[in-house]
Structure 1
Amino acid sequence: MAVSELVVLAPGSFDHPQPGEFLKENHSVAAPVVREVIGAPLEIMKYQVSLSEYARCVADGACKPADSRSRIGNAPVTGVSHIDAETYAAWLSSRTGEAWRLPTDVEWAYAAGERFRADIEGGESDPNNPARRWLTQYRTEAALARKPDPEPRAQGAFGTNSKGLADIAGNVWEWTSTCYSHATIGSDGRRMASWIDNCGVHAVEGFHRTYMSNFIRDGKSGGCAVGTPPDNLGFRLVRDRPGLVQTALRRLGLS
């Protein structure tokens, strides 16, 4: 079966603000920046999964119908939960005999390039009163004049980034496979004193990074951990190719 056009990104490294919430001495602090390495070619969909592509999974009886606002076949499918996105990836894998999955936060950021934007920071605050920090984040985003754009646009409406991916950080936000984390940074400012993953919530990428409950289909219905809820929730997938991975490892002298 035909699948979405792919972009193949060469291995590389970049500095990346970590996802989640970080505390130091009982105060919220900016996420630590880590040098991340993409050690093998990354194959990722150029476009978000479209309404018509998702409809094939629905027709097969594998996926639940999306709560999409659009009826345009080449518009990104929206109104899908994290569970729906993973179900689609499993269905596509079974239909093609290939391994498809959601990208990690690191992979998405690498592919997004100059269009990636980390969490909107609310500054330091009282950890016993997180609402104060979230209110600061809300005000920061409002100051950026982010206007609601509830109707998903046709594929390509937001152009391509420097790496050839279309519609990155447009009006459709994208699920990733990265769990929300709550971490405490040690007094030296480097090591993690504690780290707890909450995989009932996952990182969502778009105008900036935020977090959503796995069950949320419509961002405006609630569940957004920080900032203003996204207008739309959709996704794009990564294809794992063992051959490409092994070739990359041999070039690096690791296999």
Structure 2
Amino acid sequence: MILDEVDDQVSGISIAIPLVLLAILLATVAVQSGLVALRGAQNPVASPDVITVVPRSFAYRDHAEYFRAGFAVDAPRSVVAIETPLAIMKYQVSRAEYDRCVQDQACSPAESEEPASPDKTPVIGVSYDDALHYAAWLSDHTGHSWTLPTDEQLAFAAGSRFPDDALGVASDDKNPAIRWLAEYEREARRSASKDPRPQLRGSFGVSEYGLADFAGNIWEWTRSCSKRVDMDAQKADQEADPSRCGILIASGKHRAPMSSFIRNPKGGGCTVGSPPDNLGFRLVRQPSSLEMAKDWIRRMIGLTTFSINAVPPDEGPTS
């Protein structure tokens, strides 16, 4: 009975894979023949350098603020399984790249001085809303879909460079003095950089997965919404939907909840703790339909191999 079910599963997958391949072939023919038009780029610009982080599982501490009995506690840390490749900009968006959007009147000018090497220096003085406008402009000019990463996606690409904001105090410890001391020590470690000016690309090294300059002196906008979670009620006080959220997470040396319209973090826009040195951003490229189909096939082939290997050997009839 078990062997029959496994055979049915393998047979179903074996049939599905050729059908998907056939669909991809037909779609390619339709595009090449002009029957279907792909999204065209308007006044195309060169696509930025992108790294692809392959799927894996990794430890991730939630970006929300957690409280129990009125005291701040460490957010839970869990193992997250990423099942699809992540295509993300290797570097933060440069000032020259952002200025091209400004010249097209699709972005507001950055609130910062022009650097000596704008093509090699990250843009700063931009808000969350500015980053969204740039993502929309870049999508129109490259033919790809671009968006801000989530905090989880940045952690996935940054690897060991991503900070752990834990206080390190036992969750059942009700002594407020211990928590105050832990918070004081954490804020002391978050002191401003000696030189907060944006540095040339590559100045802060590369993560083991190829992400450059993360956790330097530029905090990066994400589309993750800041929220507070009452552990006793197990309910967030704020929607996680960024479209309904005015406070977003900027990630860098530490996470900083920031108002979406803030360009200068030293101007009082940081809602909790030490403000970032600067605010910039990088984008993730959403996979195309063809890429998603290829990834689905890859995973299905892996599932088929696993299913076949899981079939026990035929031991013949038993007496």
TM-score, normalised by the number of residues in structure 2: 0.70
- Describe the shift of the 1:12–1:122 C-alpha distance in structure 2 as closer, same or farther (beyond 3 A): closer
- Indicate yes or no: 2:287 matched with 1:246: no
Which residue in the other structure is 1:106 paired with? 152
Q: CA deviation at 1:133?
A: 7.0
Of 235, 239, 247 in structure 1, the residue corresponding to residue 281 of structure 2 is 235
* 1:72-83 → structure 2 map (5 Å cutoff): 72-73=117-118, 74-83=120-129
Which residue in the other structure is 1:128 paired with? none
Higher relative contact order (CA 8 A, sep 6+): 1
> Is the Cα–Cα contact under 8 Å of residues 120 and 227 in structure 1 kept in the other structure?
no
Which residue in the other structure is 2:82 paired with? 38
Q: Which amino acid aligns with 2:92?
A: Q
- Indicate yes or no: 2:243 matched with 1:196: no
- Write out the 4+ residue segments of structure 1 that deviate beyond 4 Å after TM superposition: 122-125, 132-136, 143-146
**What does the per-residue CA deviation read over 1:59-106, in whole Å, with 9 as the maximum and x for residues that have no partner?**
000000001244231200000000000110011011112100000111
> Is the Cα–Cα contact under 8 Å of residues 191 and 274 in structure 2 kept in the other structure?
no
Of 260, 264, 276 in structure 2, the residue corresponding to residue 218 of structure 1 is 264
> Is the Cα–Cα contact under 8 Å of residues 119 and 210 in structure 1 kept in the other structure?
no
- Which of 1 and 2 has greater Rg? 2
Identity of aligned residues (%): 46
- Indicate yes or no: 2:220 matched with 1:178: no
Q: Secondary structure at the match of 1:252?
A: helix
Which residue in the other structure is 1:56 paired with? 100
Distance, in Å, in 2 between the alignment partners of 1:133 and 1:149 is 30
- Describe the shift of the 1:85–1:141 C-alpha distance in structure 2 as closer, same or farther (beyond 3 A): same
Which residue in the other structure is 1:189 paired with? none
Kindly indicate which of the two structures has a greater share of residues assigned to strand: 1
- Describe the shift of the 1:163–1:7 C-alpha distance in structure 2 as closer, same or farther (beyond 3 A): same
TM-score, normalised by the number of residues in structure 1: 0.87
**What does the per-residue CA deviation read over 1:108-136, in whole Å, with 9 as the maximum and x for residues that have no partner?**
000010100133639689xxxxxx97896
Q: For structure 1, which runs of at least 5 residues remain unmatched after alignment?
A: 126-131, 187-191
- Indicate yes or no: 2:72 matched with 1:28: yes
- Indicate yes or no: 2:87 matched with 1:47: no
> Is the Cα–Cα contact under 8 Å of residues 27 and 124 in structure 1 kept in the other structure?
no
Indicate the RMSD between aligned Cα atoms, in angstroms: 2.5
Q: Secondary structure at the match of 1:210?
A: strand
- Describe the shift of the 1:237–1:220 C-alpha distance in structure 2 as closer, same or farther (beyond 3 A): same
* 1:122-161 → structure 2 map (5 Å cutoff): 137=183, 139-143=185-189, 146-161=192-207
- Describe the shift of the 1:133–1:88 C-alpha distance in structure 2 as closer, same or farther (beyond 3 A): farther
